[in-house]
Amino acid sequence: MIGGIHHLGLTVRDVDASADWYVEVLGFRRVGKFESPDGARRKVFLRHDGLPARLGLTQHRDGGQQVFDETRVGLDHLAFAVADRAELDGWSTRLAATAVVHSPVAPANSIPGAAVLVLRDPDNIQLELFFDPSDWAADGAEP
């Protein structure tokens, strides 16, 4: 039985710069780091108060400097849930104030009543801030 997601790992070009971005832009906090004995991998572990899972950022010494491309096999995007549409609108305002390029809040194309805001991290990884009213309905709560 799978009980949840423990962590998600993303490969980045510069682990310190990416960790700083996730802290400054999205409100994560650093909770640990690791470097392999041979120096081939450096990791930073992040937590966010709203998430049960950790986010791990990994820089590979021989990983190259290519940016993320969701059209290749692997990760397409990572979506973070928000509590309601007002929170999504608040994120839009916050991102605009910090000059982070993002989409306008728009209806999600796959879930009736859902809304999404799309942005990209420093490595071009597509991130979404996503409000899904059916998540709240399943819990018996009102959005």
Whether 126 contacts 10, CB under 8 Å: no
Query: What CATH fold (topology level) applies to the domain 69-143?
Result: 2,3-Dihydroxybiphenyl 1,2-Dioxygenase; domain 1 (3.10.180)
The secondary structure of the chain as a DSSP string is ------EEEEE-S-HHHHHHHHHHHH--EEEEEEE-TTSSEEEEEEE-TT-SSEEEEEEETTS-SPPP-TTSSS---EEEE-SSHHHHHHHHHHHHHTT--BPPPEE-SSSTT-EEEEEE-TT--EEEEEE-HHHHHHTT---
Query: pLDDT tens for residues 5-38?
Result: 889 999 999 999 999 999 999 999 999 999 999 9
pLDDT given at position 4: 83
* Total-model pTM: 0.88
Query: pLDDT tens for residues 106-140?
Result: 999 888 999 999 999 999 999 999 999 986 544 45
Domain borders along the chain are 1-66, 69-143
pLDDT given at position 76: 92
Over residues 71-94, the mean pLDDT reads 92
Statement: residue 142 has pLDDT above 70: no
Query: Are domains 1-66 and 69-143 of this chain identical in fold?
Result: yes
Within 8 A by CB and 6+ apart from 109, the residues are none
Q: Euclidean distance between the first and final Cα of the chain, in Å?
A: 29
Statement: residue 141 has pLDDT above 70: no
Query: What CATH fold (topology level) applies to the domain 1-66?
Result: 2,3-Dihydroxybiphenyl 1,2-Dioxygenase; domain 1 (3.10.180)
